[in-house]
């Protein structure tokens, strides 16, 4: 299955305007974290914040709805999220932790659960909210897009960053400036070129923008825990949903992109293996 194992696919968005004002898409990540915190399902979570407001993501432990909302929005650079998981369980002493993770971060986390070589950490993760991910960029690549390609004085001038409709968008002075995705090729990190998971197949719940209209998210519930948290948040009125087959472009586009990523990056993996360069050993 090109989208991994899932129970249900829906289009959804938060019903809270405080979240929708700042969220990247439907605010599903933030809504779920707030709900799980409120219900005591988790005591805190690891997210990617930008303390210096310079778009550089910094792994951050949050324990309140306000902190969750302050960290909303996508930063298109690497956030070594799992490094802060240690902080969450040690300094913060959290026993029930949520994690917002890209597919590669989820792989690290699931590996640490299956082979717990690090004591008393992985077992405390109670909710993995996965975000779809096609690729990620070094900060210097983002600088290039803003300055050399879009003519900004600085990346800092951008107030929103998004990828969609075939373009990389930077908003400045209320105006959206698009850069063809083609122009971003060759600027992603090299590790992404062998990544074959688009929709975060090992998360409890996965979400992203592709498949749903603007301001909405496509959600895949995967594990029992993930489905129960999501459904409870819907029931509590924090999230509204629409059946996936009633929205455009819907799952076909998501499947197409997921398959495209797998095919391309599996080919790269084979190419590297043939050259004799290291690729991960899969057990």
Ligand X SMILES: Cc1cc2nc3c(=O)[nH]c(=O)nc-3n(C[C@H](O)[C@H](O)[C@H](O)COP(=O)(O)OP(=O)(O)OC[C@H]3O[C@@H](n4cnc5c(N)ncnc54)[C@H](O)[C@@H]3O)c2cc1C
Could you list the residues that contact ligand X (CB under 6 A)?
A: 23-30, 47-48, 57, 71-77, 79, 81, 100, 102, 131-134, 136, 163, 207-210, 217
In the complex with ligand SF4, the residue whose CB is nearer, 102 or 218, is 102
* Minimum CB distance to ligand X, residue 6 (Å): 15
For the chain, the maximum distance between any two Cα atoms, rounded to a whole number of angstroms, is 54
Site for another protein in 76-105 (CB under 8 A): 77-86, 102, 104-105
Residue 58 host element (H or E): strand 58-62
CA separation for the pair 55, 77 (Å, rounded) = 8
User: For strand 97-101 and strand 44-49, is the pairing parallel, antiparallel, or unpaired?
Assistant: parallel
Which of 10, 192, 203, 210 touches ligand SF4 by CB under 6 A?
Answer: 192
Question: Is there binding between residue 274 and another protein (CB under 8 A)?
Answer: no
Question: Is there binding between residue 136 and another protein (CB under 8 A)?
Answer: yes
Q: Is 119 exposed, middle or buried (0-12, 13-18, 19+ CB in 10 A)?
A: exposed
Question: Is there binding between residue 191 and ligand SF4 (CB under 6 A)?
Answer: yes
Q: Which two tokens stand for residue 153?
A: 């004085």
From the list 17-25, 65-73, 130-138, 245-253, the region that binds ligand SF4 by CB under 6 A is: 130-138
Which of 26, 49, 73, 103 touches ligand SF4 by CB under 6 A?
Answer: 103
* Minimum CB distance to another protein, residue 140 (Å): 8
223 phi, psi to nearest 5 deg: -90, 170
Question: Is there binding between residue 43 and ligand SF4 (CB under 6 A)?
Answer: no
CA separation for the pair 127, 204 (Å, rounded) = 6
Number of residues in the chain:
283
């Amino acid at each position: 299955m090109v989208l991994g194992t899932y129970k249900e696919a829906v289009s959804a968005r938060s019903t809270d305007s405080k979240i929708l004002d700042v969220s990247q898409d439907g605010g599903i990540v933030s809504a779920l974290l707030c709900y799980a915190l409120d219900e005591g399902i988790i005591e805190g979570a690891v997210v990617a914040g930008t303390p210096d407001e310079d778009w550089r993501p910094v792994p951050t432990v949050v324990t309140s709805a306000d902190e969750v909302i302050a960290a909303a929005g996508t930063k298109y650079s690497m956030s070594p999220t799992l490094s802060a998981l240690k902080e969450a369980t040690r300094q913060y002493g959290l026993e029930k932790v949520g994690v917002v993770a890209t597919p590669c971060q989820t792989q690290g986390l699931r590996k640490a659960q299956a082979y717990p070589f690090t004591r008393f950490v992985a077992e405390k993760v109670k909710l993995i909210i996965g975000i779809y991910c096609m690729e990620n960029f070094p900060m210097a690549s983002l600088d290039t897009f803003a300055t050399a390609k879009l003519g900004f004085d600085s990346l800092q001038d951008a107030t929103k960053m998004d990828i969609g409709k075939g373009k990389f968008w930077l908003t400045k002075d209320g105006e959206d400036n698009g850069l063809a995705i083609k122009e971003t090729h060759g600027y992603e990190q090299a590790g992404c070129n062998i990544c074959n998971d688009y929709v975060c197949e090992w998360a409890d719940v996965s979400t992203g923008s592709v498949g749903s209209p603007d301001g909405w998210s496509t959600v895949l519930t995967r594990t029992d825990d993930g489905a129960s948290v999501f459904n409870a948040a819907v029931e509590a009125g924090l999230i509204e949903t629409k059946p996936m087959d009633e929205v455009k472009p819907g799952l076909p586009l998501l499947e197409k992109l997921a398959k495209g990523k797998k095919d391309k990056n599996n080919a790269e993996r084979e190419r590297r293996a043939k050259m004799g360069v290291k690729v991960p050993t899969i057990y």
